[in-house]
Chains A and B, each alone.
Chain A
Amino acid sequence: MTVMEQRGAYKPTPPPAWQPRTDPAPLLPDAEPYRVLGTEAAAKADPELLRTLYAQLVKGRRYNAQATALTKQGRLAVYPSTTGQEACEVAAALVLEEQDWLFPSYRDTLAVVARGVDPVEALTLLRGDWHTGYDPYEHRVAPLCTPLATQLPHAVGLAHAARLKGDDVVALAMVGDGGTSEGDFHEALNFAAVWQAPVVFLVQNNGFAISVPLAKQTAAPSLAHKAVGYGMPGRLVDGNDAAAVHEVLSDAVRHARAGGGPTLVEAITYRVDAHTNADDATRYRGDAEVETWREHDPIRLLERELTGRGLLDEAGIEAARQDAETMAAALREHMNQDPALDPMDLFTHVYAEPTPQLREQRDQLRAELEAEADTEGGTHR
C-alpha cells in the first residue's frame, strides 16, 4: 500500500474526549456598546432612577473637582480623578443591595462614597493618615486596592464563601483597562467561572493606563470579548450613559444573584482629567480627543434626556448643583482639619498580639517620643 492510499483510508476524528463545553454565542458581547439615553430604550427607563442618577452624577463631578483642588492645597497626597467616568462609579454603587460587596481599585473613591462611606474616611489612603480609613464591614466595601487587579480574586473568594454559607451576596469588582493585562485578572475570572461565583467584574475602559493606550494593552476585539474564554458572558456598554451602565450592571447582578455565575462588563468611557495631579496628559494625547469626549459627557447626556422629556427643569438642575456644593463644602471643611495621629498606632495592628520584637520597637519609639516631648518642653535645656 502506498502512502497516498494509506492517507485516503484515514478518516479524521476528533480526539476521544473532545466536546465543546459551552456554546460561545450567547457569551459574546454585542457588536456595539449598549446605550439607553437618546434611544427608544430610554422611554422604558424609570424616571425616578434617572433623576437619582443625575443627582449622583452632579455630586460625583463636584466631588472629583473638590478632591483635585485639595491636592493642589497639599491636603491630599494624590487624587486619581474619575471626572468623565462618574456614570460607572455611581452605577456600580447603586446597583448593589445592602448585603452586597464592592471591591474598588485605587481610582474608585467616588464609587466608595456613593456606596455610603464617609467622604473623609474614603480619602484617608490618599491623604496619607492611614491606608484604609473606613471599616470595610460597615458598608461592605473592601479597602481601596493599589496593586492593580489584585482585589479581583478577593471578590471571587468572598462571593464564593457567601454562597457556601447560603447567603444572598453579590460582589462587584472594579478594574481599569490596564489592569486586565495582569495575571490576577485572568486568575480571578477563571476561578469565578469555574466556581460559578456570584461576581460582576466591571472594567472601566477609560482609554489609558497612565499613558499607555488600549491598543498597546490588548489585541482582543474588546475587553468584554475576554469573557468568552472563561465561559462567562461579556457585555459592552457605553460607560458615559448612566442609565445603560445601571441597566447592564443590574442585569449582571441579578444574573449572579440567581445563581447564573459571573459576568464581565466593559464600560467604554474616558478619563477627562490627567491620571493624577502628578501626570502630564499632554504628553500622550491631544486636546481634540479630549474635546470629543467632553461632548459625550455623562452629565450632559443624562441632562439632555431628562430636560428633553420634561423630567428636569432649571430649578431641578440648580437644586442638584446646590446639593453638590453642600457636599463639597463639608468635605473641604473636614479635610482642612489636621488629622490627629498616634505614632504608637504603627505597632498596634501588625498582628493580633504584637511580637516580642515589635514590643521592643514600640518601647523604643515611646522613649523617643518622650525625649522629644521633654526637649520641646524645655526640661533638658
Chain B
Amino acid sequence: MSTVAVKPATMAQAFTRALRDAMAADPAVHVMGEDVGTLGGVFRVTDGLAEEFGEDRCTDTPLAEAGILGTAVGMAMYGLRPVVEMQFDAFAYPAFEQLISHVARTRNRTRGRMPLPITIRVPYGGGIGGVEHHSDSSEAYYMATPGLHVVTPATVADAYGLLRAAIASDDPVVVLEPKRLYWSKDSWNPEEPTPVEPIGRAVVRRPGRSATLITYGPSVPVCMEAAEAARAEGWDLEVVDLRSLVPFDDETVCASVRRTGRAVVVHESGSFGGPGGEIASRVTERCFHHLEAPVLRVAGFDVPYPPPMLERHHLPGVDRILDAVGRLQWEAES
C-alpha cells in the first residue's frame, strides 16, 4: 500500500473521472454539449476530455438543447453511447420533446429493436446562489416519464459509480448532479475507483431505530446533519439515500420503515405533485400496519425557485426536518 496521501477528489472530479474511464474503456462513448470541450464545462466536469480524446469524442455543440439530445438519438441509433450535458437544470426544458417523445420510448416503440443508450447529465438543485433558471429540481418530470432511469448521487463514490453505471446502461439514464455537492469531498479514493454497481439500489447511510428519513441527492447531507442533531432530542434516525429514483428500491425503503415505524421524505423540489407524494404513497401502501404515524414530507415550497437571497427560506433545512420528526409522535398528540 502506498504511503503517499491521496488528495481527496471532489464530486465534480469524480464525475470527470467516470467520464474519462468510460471513454477510455469504450470508444463508442461520446461526450457532447455546450462548452464541454475547450472550457471543460461550466462546472469543469468535462475538463481535459477534449484534449485527451479529441473534439470528435468530446464535442462543443451549437447552443441548442433539443438539437443536442436529438442528434444524440441519431448517434445512439448508429451504435454510439452519447453522454450529453445539459448546462443547467432549467435549460434542459427545450430538450424535453426529444427526451419524452423519443429518448424515453424508442426502445418500446420499436419492440426492443432500437435501444438508446444515452446518458443525460443535468446539474440540478439550488443552494449555490444561482440566478433564476439555475436552481430547479426537475426530478418529478423525469420520474413521470416511463422509459427513463433517474439517478442522483449524494456521495463522491456514488457520483463515480452511478455515472459509470448510467453510461454502461443500455437504456437512457438521467443523471441528476446535485450542483450544491460538486465541491464536496469525502473519503473516496480517486486512485481506486469504486466498482460499478447496477442502478436501482438505495442505501442506508446511517442506521437508526426511531424513524426513517428517506432522501436523495443534495438533501442527504442535510438529513445526516439533522439525524445528528436529533440525537439530543432522543431520536435515533435512520437515513436512507435513494440514489435511484427510477427504478425505485421499495425493498430497502420499506425494510427500513418497517423497522422504525415512522418516515419523513425530504427533498428540495416542490411538495405538490413532487417525488415525496409518490414515495409516501408507496410506503403507506406497503407498510401501513407498521406505521405509527402518517408519512410526512419536508420539501421545497410550491413556488418557482426563489431568488438567491431568499433560497435559504425555501430549502428544507435541519430545523424543518427536526420539526417534522417531532410531529411523528402521532399517538401522543391524538
Contacts and interface: CB of A to CB of B under 8 A. Distances in A.
The interface size bin for chain B is 35 or more
The interface size bin for chain A is 35 or more
B146 interface: yes
Contacts of A131: 105, 108-110
Interface stretch (A6-14, A155-163, A304-312): A155-163
Given A153-B69, A187-B67, A351-B147, 10 more contacts: A143-B110, A150-B70, A157-B76, A161-B74, A161-B80, A184-B66, A187-B62, A191-B67, A194-B62, A349-B110
Given A161-B75, A351-B147, A130 B70 contact: no
Q: Interface on chain A toward B: helix, strand, loop, or mixed SS?
A: helix
Interface string A32-69: 00000000000000000000000000000000000000
Contacts, number: 141
B107 interface: yes
Interface in B254-297: none
B78 A349 contact: no
Given A153-B67, A157-B75, A143 B247 contact: no
A147 interface: yes
B77 interface: yes
Given A156-B74, A352-B115, A188 B108 contact: no
B334 interface: no
A153 B66 contact: yes
A172 to B, nearest CB: 13
Nearest to A189: B67
Contacts of A146: 101
A326 interface: no
A350 B113 contact: no
A19 to B, nearest CB: 20
Contacts of B69: 153
Contacts of B61: 191
B73 A157 contact: yes
Interface string A148-186: 001011111111111011000101000000000001100
B114 interface: yes
Contacts of A156: 70-71, 74
B87 to A, nearest CB: 16
B206 interface: no
Contacts of A159: 74
B98 A153 contact: yes
Interface string A117-132: 0000000000000111
Contact of A154 (B62, B71, B110): B71
13 contacts: A136-B110, A143-B106, A153-B67, A154-B102, A158-B77, A161-B80, A162-B78, A183-B94, A184-B67, A184-B70, A184-B98, A187-B67, A191-B64
A269 to B, nearest CB: 26
Interface in A303-353: 345, 348-352
Contacts of A154: 70-71, 73-74, 77, 102
B250 interface: yes
Nearest to A190: B62
B248 A356 contact: yes
B247 A350 contact: no
B253 to A, nearest CB: 11
A349 B116 CA distance: 12
B64 A150 contact: no
B112 interface: yes
B171 interface: yes
Given A136-B114, A154-B71, A161-B75, A143 B109 contact: yes
A164 to B, nearest CB: 6
A349 B67 contact: no
Contact of A191 (B71, B146, B251): B71
Contacts of B250: 356-357
A32 to B, nearest CB: 32
B235 to A, nearest CB: 30
A144 to B, nearest CB: 9
Contacts of B70: 150, 152-154, 156-157, 184, 187-188
Contacts of A132: 109-111, 113
B56 interface: yes
Contacts of A190: 62, 64, 67
A137 interface: yes
A132 B105 CA distance: 11
Contact of A355 (B30, B72, B200): B200
Contacts of A130: 109, 111
B97 A349 contact: no
A97 interface: no
Nearest to B64: A187
3 closest cross-chain pairs (CB), A and B = A157-B74, A153-B70, A187-B67
A102 to B, nearest CB: 12
A142 interface: yes
B112 A161 contact: no
Contacts of B78: 157-158, 161-162, 165, 169
B306 to A, nearest CB: 29
Contact of B97 (A135, A184, A348): A184
Contacts of A162: 78
A154 to B, nearest CB: 4
Contacts of B171: 351-352
B166 interface: no
B75 A147 contact: no
A187 B113 contact: no
A178 to B, nearest CB: 16
B49 to A, nearest CB: 16
Given A150-B101, A191-B62, A351 B149 contact: yes
Interface string B103-140: 00111111111110000000000000000000000000
A155 B108 CA distance: 19
Contact of A158 (B74, B113, B146, B200): B74
A131 B69 CA distance: 21
B74 A357 contact: no
A351 B116 CA distance: 10
B64 A137 contact: no
